[in-house]
């Protein structure tokens, strides 16, 4: 199964972002990719005001474009993440087959939302980012929760070929519990749209992506943003595709573009059979209350 990660340098200019996403997604498909992942906030990346101004529902132009392109190219497309508007009651524009979907909430906040679209152009799954990026890094304070409502559901999808596809976004990468649950639920490929900061990309990105691949014996398709964005943000690029042994199959240069890799699902089965770390778990021990350790 050939897959691709698209690396973008998104700004607050939605039309330019869409043009770049369209061009690079088509290029990846022309190179044979059947599963393509876009980065986080590919439609608009900038200040809180930029995100609010560029937010839209799942019935809006961004996901409509993604659905039409996935159908045209006959690909599974993980449409990165968008700033999803939640407060008008139209955000739940996904079929009952998508598993599971958190209901949109009001209150004027947005969701950081990733959408998996199948080769028929149908929405297969919708995932709203669980973990809010409320941190200080690189001399700057970030507070994603100021404008974004966290999701409440772990979402496992599947490609058109029936390969389990775990959904996640950016800061989720630092929470291994999420990926273990996805792997135990059947995920063989983990999708990670991201806008990792320059500082954390240089020091943590590859280590964390490879760790999630190794510990869950899963492929990871990690599509990162690259370069400077409005509002003083700067993403580190170096998008990755990693195999279940932790081997980097492809890494992007520090510019917009796409990377490709062939996923050997048979090799993954061999790794899981010969090195059965998932089967050797001791969940009856892990369920012990934390309080008992103190």
pLDDT one-digit tens code per residue, 10-50: 999 999 999 999 999 999 999 999 999 999 999 999 999 99
Residue with the two structure tokens 């439609």: 43
CATH of the domain at 48: 3.60.110.10
The mean per-residue pLDDT over the stretch 143-161 comes to 97
Residue 148 in any domain: the answer is: yes
Residue 203 in any domain: the answer is: yes
18-27 contacts at long range (C-beta below 8 A, 24 or more positions apart): 18/43, 18/61, 18/62, 18/65, 20/256, 21/80, 22/65, 22/69, 24/256, 24/257, 24/258, 25/69, 25/73, 25/75, 25/77, 25/258, 26/69, 26/73, 27/258
Which range marks the domain in which residue 47 is found? 2-278
Residue 19 in any domain: the answer is: yes
Residue 26 in any domain: the answer is: yes
Residue 134 in any domain: the answer is: yes
Check 14, 40, 56, 144 and give the catalytic one.
Answer: 40
Confidence (pLDDT) at 83: 97
Residue 57 in any domain: the answer is: yes
Check 14, 41, 170, 256 and give the catalytic one.
Answer: 170
Distance CA 15, CA 191 (A): 25
- Average pLDDT along the chain: 93
Residue 294 in any domain: the answer is: no
- This model's pTM is above 0.85: yes
Distance CA 81, CA 28 (A): 18
Judge whether 14 counts as a catalytic residue: no
pLDDT tens track for 207-242? 999 999 999 999 999 999 999 999 889 999 999 999
**Domains of the chain: total:** 1
59-65 contacts at long range (C-beta below 8 A, 24 or more positions apart): 59/90, 59/93, 60/85, 61/18, 62/14, 62/18, 63/93, 63/115, 63/117, 63/123, 65/18, 65/22
Residue 292 in any domain: the answer is: no
Judge whether 109 counts as a catalytic residue: no
Judge whether 143 counts as a catalytic residue: no
């Amino acid at each position: 199964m050939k897959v691709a990660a698209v690396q973008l340098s998104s700004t607050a200019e939605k039309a330019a972002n869409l043009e770049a996403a369209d061009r690079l997604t088509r290029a990846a498909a022309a190179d044979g990719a059947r599963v393509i992942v876009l980065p986080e906030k590919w439609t608009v990346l900038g200040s809180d005001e930029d995100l609010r101004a560029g937010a839209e529902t799942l019935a809006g132009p961004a996901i409509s474009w993604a659905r039409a392109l996935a159908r045209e190219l006959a690909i599974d497309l993980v449409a990165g993440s968008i700033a999803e508007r939640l407060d008008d009651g139209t955000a739940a524009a996904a079929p009952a087959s998508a598993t599971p979907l958190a209901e949109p909430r009001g209150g004027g906040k947005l969701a950081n939302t990733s959408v998996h679209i199948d080769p028929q152009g149908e929405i297969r799954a919708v995932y709203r980012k669980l973990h809010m990026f409320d941190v200080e890094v690189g001399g700057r304070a970030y507070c994603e929760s100021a404008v974004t409502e966290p999701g409440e559901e772990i979402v496992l999808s599947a490609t058109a070929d029936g390969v389990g596809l775990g959904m996640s976004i950016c800061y989720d990468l630092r929470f291994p519990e999420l990926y273990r649950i996805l792997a135990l639920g059947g995920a063989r490929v983990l999708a990670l749209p991201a806008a990792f900061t320059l500082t954390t990309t240089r020091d943590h990105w590859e280590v964390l992506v490879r760790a999630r691949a190794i510990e869950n014996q899963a492929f990871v398709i990690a599509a990162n943003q690259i370069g400077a964005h409005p509002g003083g943000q700067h993403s580190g690029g170096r998008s990755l595709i990693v195999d279940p042994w932790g081997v980097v199959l492809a890494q992007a240069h520090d510019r917009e573009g796409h990377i490709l890799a062939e996923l050997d699902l048979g090799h993954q089965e061999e790794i899981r059979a010969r090195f059965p770390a998932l089967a050797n778990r001791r969940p009856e021990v892990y369920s012990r209350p934390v309080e008992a350790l103190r």
